[in-house]
Amino acid sequence: MNEQHLPTVGFIGLGHMGSGMVANLQKAGFPLVVSDRRDDAGRDAVNAGARWAATGAEVAAQTDIVITMLPRPTDVDAALFGDHGVLQGIRSGATWIDMSTSVPEVERRVIDATRSLDLHVVDAPVSGMAVGAANGTLQIFVGADAEDFARLRPVFNAMGNADRVIHVGGHGAGYAVKLMINQLWFSHLIATAEVLATGVAAGVDLAVLRRSLIASPANSNFLENDVLSILDHGDYDEGFAVALACKDLGLSIDLSRSVGVPVELSAIVEQIYRRALAQYGETAGEMTPFQLYEDLTSRPLRLAEQQAATA
Ligand code: NAD
């Protein structure tokens, strides 16, 4: 893949993540054909030179590589197998990359349904939030044949940090790695919320408590970095809806069940997330389960406010 012969990329799903990913593919020079259920979602991409297609079939008929970045496995299924879906237009020898956080069932069905087409199928979910999608600094976990991974590297490098684009295994491995990352991160969030809320309610200054935890064997990246979005700014990350976080937790638990690993802790974390969804609504941010503990103790956990109060 050299600059002169960049393949045309089709991109379906221009939401919080997809819109930024498309912008970075365009900056890297890839010709783009974009589509979304929402007609207005492609405005910026079209203004920057992309073609708009009304259906997945139209996207696939004009492109060498089709990327999907959709909320749920059912959406991926609809985009591929539905009326005027991708499979109705896909070219022989083309590539489909699913970058959604999902599970391998749809991927397996696509592989089965396209045996005569020599379709290259890749799962490549991402981490790094909407801000990473906009800045082109995503981490990308690629489940693919080694040859496909090597061939598609320029596409991934346009959207992510080259040193954090990782070939994690064959088909399905990307989905599994991504679900395990989210499961552990959501577990860190709940554990951190419990500990900070309890310590502060017991009379310890929030900054002192956090510093002590960071200096201890109980430190974590979440405590050192990610929690600051709440503690410094009261930002629960509306760029990733709590409804999608609940989807991920459900898929993660399904995966554990399918491979016969009991995951009691994950099940509790999922239920706490579902409580936050019921309390704050579907579009609340992925970090709102933290707020359950702030509401319970009637104390927003904010470093600046605590410092001001003790000044
Ligand atoms: P989003 O809801 O913001 O965007 C999804 C887009 O897909 C929407 O524009 C919607 O209109 C469109 N869409 C849905 N079904 C469609 C269909 N059948 N055909 C065409 N368009 C369709 O979601 P998002 O936050 O961008 O997340 C996308 C995926 O990325 C999800 O699987 C999510 O779990 C994952 N993810 C999100 C984040 C984040 O921080 N937002 C981070 C990592 C991974």
Answer yes or no: is pLDDT of 283 > 90: yes
Residues 6+ apart with CB under 8 A from 287: 189, 229, 230, 235, 236, 237
Given the residues 178, 187, 223, 287, the one annotated as active site: 178
Instruction: State pLDDT tens for residues 71-122.
Output: 999 999 999 999 999 999 999 999 999 999 999 999 999 999 999 999 999 9
Instruction: State pLDDT tens for residues 3-57.
Output: 568 999 999 999 999 999 999 999 999 999 999 999 999 999 999 999 999 999 9
Q: pLDDT-based confidence at 204, cuts 50/70/90?
A: very high
State whether the beta carbon of 239 lies less than 6 angstroms from ligand 1. yes
Q: What pLDDT is recorded for position 3? A: 58
Query: Among residues of the chain, what percentage have pLDDT more than 90?
Result: 96
Distance, CA 29 to ligand 1 centroid (Å)? 23
Per-residue pLDDT, averaged over 279-292, amounts to 98
Distance, CA 97 to ligand 1 centroid (Å)? 14
**Residue-wise over 125-156: b if at least 16 C-beta within 10 A, else e?**
bbbbbbebbbebebbbbbbbeeebbebbebbb
Q: What pLDDT is recorded for position 311? A: 53
- The model scores a pTM over 0.85: yes
State whether the beta carbon of 244 lies less than 6 angstroms from ligand 1. yes
Q: What pLDDT is recorded for position 6? A: 95
Catalytic residue check, 247: no
CA 51 to chain centre: 25
CA 211 to chain centre: 30
- List phi, psi (to 5°) of 57: -60, -40
Residue reference for tokens 């319970």: 296
List the one residue out of 222, 199, 194 whose CA is nearest residue 306. 199
